A and B are shown apart, each in its own frame.
Chain A
């Protein structure tokens, strides 16, 4: 498994994502100006504030050369994982449904939260964002729920940002593009909190290898 982790000016968690990917394969950084992903099997779009998130979170990054390559990889069925700002970029790029709005309390929040995946398994993973409130029109929410596109929800009482229907992460219809606000790359070592995030990376690696 060869992972590529995008690096934009303003990325924050790219080294952490690189480390996490390295635990389930090889991993390298992909500079935002690279139009060629260099043969990686899967891509992580990491957290941070790509290009300063001027205008709107993720709104500029979607136009980067590397994102054109990511769109092609996704169209070919390649796995793409967007974390936090990466989730915002994927929504802006139209590769995932919905949008991420300002948190309902209008404050940045950093907190360990409980998630439930679509198999009903619990994961303890930190969130840290100011614009993480998942939103989509009611009909779209009904649709993505019906099609099994909701990958993660915040456990009851754990929704940190007012996300619609407690949604923390969604995938595309084909199932190969996943975006989530919580940071699995910050949950890969018991020393720094939990190891539940490993399951997210391992699941992607297992589906591919």
Chain B
């Protein structure tokens, strides 16, 4: 075979020369334009996981309660009563970096379809967002657009957005992260898998018509670094219509409830090509698609465009021929489009027809599983590869007044509370409907995890999504373990026991040594933490090539956990509840400054974290969970960003009541006043309740340090020479400053 020309079409579509040669070998000829387009999409990083699949084999995926694991549209766990909860997180980073409103909106739309494709009704959305520092006009634009986009889609479709997180860090300046999560509820008997079956069955395309939007989204946009000329990629971003999706959702759930479908799959990245290919692959069959039967927005679309269009709000169903009229009738009722576009065959091939003419013909195995999987070539970088900037003095002046001393702990606390990553995210979550569906027992910021009532199964679930990229950058292994532990700690505060975990791994270019090393170490940490906690990984998503001109993003594994609790009303609030309650620090918390918010503000970030004691943190989680369920704790809040002082302030602001504590018992663990106040690390809970009740928790062998009591109108923390006394109103003003910061021009 002759060497491909320098400007060859396959390179423009993101395929390497060896990959192109492999395709030729598997076809026994050169692919035509349709086939090349199909391969370029399904062999993209986004669809084929070619740099991550080998690593992901390390993750524990088995568990008693797992109903569906990795490989399905979403993972699902048994919640009792014949019901399952399905959940998944997916990234829509690059589309959002190019066009934040539509990028984020269609991110939500896509994750909703993944969940209702299983036959689960979506009951909650969460999101995990990362932007550059808010001083940048670009970051404010991306934040504003992404939050509006998430709200637009979720609010319009009637699924509550119940939780999430937002961090602001310079390495996300060019390449923001938008990870959306959907949680759904299904009767186990109504759930379907995405495998095509039954030769001769009809293949029906349901939902919106197919246009030229999103062509090449998965390859050109999602599987390459961002850089110059991204504006030109705007047409690769899809446009969402939540009304179409709302009808599609109700239509699909009605068809599944009536047992009309053999299988169902959403059309996401790579459109018809991936859904047809993956359904055929899972079922060990072939599929014929006639592009002349696909309802189009523009009459002159080429077959390759039809096959790879990422037009939103579409699903592909396999239907027994005699059921087709009923399927079309349900679609008619919901005023959603439907067309029989093909059939299941025994050919083992995806054939693309234009009427009687065959315009593409590829083996399913080559298309879906034939992409070579690559080993990473990881090399640990020699030091801190990201920037550092001292901003503490400026932040202290802004939060505590121009005369404030940047080494005064009260002034530092104000600066930390006002730091956008720590501050209240009310500005964002008030733009989301958090109550529709009547399940939301704990609204955003009222508890450490979102709590949703599941009366069908006689209980409730708690959901949390976490991932501090800065700490993962300091130590990819320990930072990822911490992310998993924080998620577990948040569930424990709600009284929930983890059932399963899903994740979205957002990393830089895996072909470069440092991001490859970060990815390798992070997956090892994820695997070990899940193993230690006994929580199965039921699904995941990988987003690579997250880089801008200045280099890679912070490595950002976002983990989300679903847990169960018996009583939705029993979840502890984060905020203090009653005057005179004792306050204790519970768990093996060993605060330190590396990787902390304070180190960041001082411009002192560097590699290395102490690393958590996973077993001890897991034991503390169990104690907190049982104490919440037993009603021993009036409040429970985990210590995370900004350390113990911020956790105490948040509990005080949340409860609208002050606190008086002396952190000497924690200093006895060998911490300086500053480490005690602002150091970070896993395994710390700020809990309140009756003193005897709190002390009795030590019977489990868990460290319980009573630090003081709830009361007054100030946050008073005695820490030797580094004491803090701050009026509650002043702390609250700093913590609620995000609104003014975002809306300022």
Residue numbers of A with Cβ under 8 A of B are 9-13, 15-16, 19, 47-49, 51-54, 107-111, 126, 128, 130, 183, 185-186, 189-193
Contacts of A47 in B (CB 8 A): 436
Contacts of B151 in A (CB 8 A): 108
0/1 string, B427-466, CB within 8 A of A gives 1: 0011111111111110100000000010000000000000
- Are B438 and A186 in touch, CB under 8 angstroms? yes
Q: Does B241 contact A (CB under 8 A)?
A: yes
Interface segment among B155-163, B165-173, B178-186, B286-294: the answer is: B155-163
Bound CA–CA A186/B243 (angstroms) = 22
- Are B431 and A109 in touch, CB under 8 angstroms? yes
Residue numbers of B with Cβ under 8 A of A are 148, 151-152, 155-158, 241-244, 246-247, 250, 334-335, 429-441, 443, 453, 568-569
- Are A192 and B434 in touch, CB under 8 angstroms? no
- Are B243 and A110 in touch, CB under 8 angstroms? no
Contacts of A130 in B (CB 8 A): 155
Q: What distance in Å separates the Cβ of A39 from its nearest Cβ neighbour in chain B?
A: 23
Considering the complex, give the chain A residue whose CB is closest to the CB of B427.
A107
Contacts of A191 in B (CB 8 A): 441, 453, 568-569
- Are A186 and B435 in touch, CB under 8 angstroms? yes
Given the known interface contacts A9-B247, A10-B243, A12-B157, the answer about A110 and B434 at a Cβ–Cβ threshold of 8 Å is yes
Q: Other than A13-B436, A186-B436, give 12 A-B pairs with Cβ distance below 8 A.
A: A9-B334, A12-B436, A15-B438, A52-B241, A52-B244, A52-B246, A53-B156, A108-B151, A108-B432, A110-B431, A192-B438, A192-B440
Taking each of B148, B431, B569, which has the highest tally of chain A beta carbons within 10 Å of its own beta carbon? B431
- Are A49 and B568 in touch, CB under 8 angstroms? no
Taking each of B243, B436, B443, which has the highest tally of chain A beta carbons within 10 Å of its own beta carbon? B436
- Are A16 and B568 in touch, CB under 8 angstroms? no
Contacts of B334 in A (CB 8 A): 9
- Are B432 and A110 in touch, CB under 8 angstroms? yes
Considering the complex, give the chain A residue whose CB is closest to the CB of B335.
A9
Given the known interface contacts A110-B430, A191-B441, the answer about A11 and B158 at a Cβ–Cβ threshold of 8 Å is yes
Contacts of B246 in A (CB 8 A): 9-10, 12, 49, 52
Q: What distance in Å separates the Cβ of B16 from its nearest Cβ neighbour in chain A?
A: 43
- Are B435 and A126 in touch, CB under 8 angstroms? yes
**Can you sample 22 A-B contacts with CB below 8 Å?**
A9-B246, A9-B247, A16-B436, A49-B243, A49-B246, A51-B243, A52-B241, A52-B243, A52-B246, A108-B431, A109-B431, A110-B429, A110-B432, A110-B433, A128-B434, A130-B155, A183-B435, A189-B438, A190-B569, A191-B568, A192-B439, A193-B443
- Are A12 and B430 in touch, CB under 8 angstroms? no
Contacts of A16 in B (CB 8 A): 436-438
Bound CA–CA A15/B158 (angstroms) = 10
- Are A192 and B431 in touch, CB under 8 angstroms? no
Taking each of A16, A108, A110, which has the highest tally of chain B beta carbons within 10 Å of its own beta carbon? A110
Contacts of A185 in B (CB 8 A): 438
- Are B335 and A192 in touch, CB under 8 angstroms? no
Contacts of B247 in A (CB 8 A): 9-10
- Are A109 and B440 in touch, CB under 8 angstroms? no
Contacts of A10 in B (CB 8 A): 156, 243, 246-247
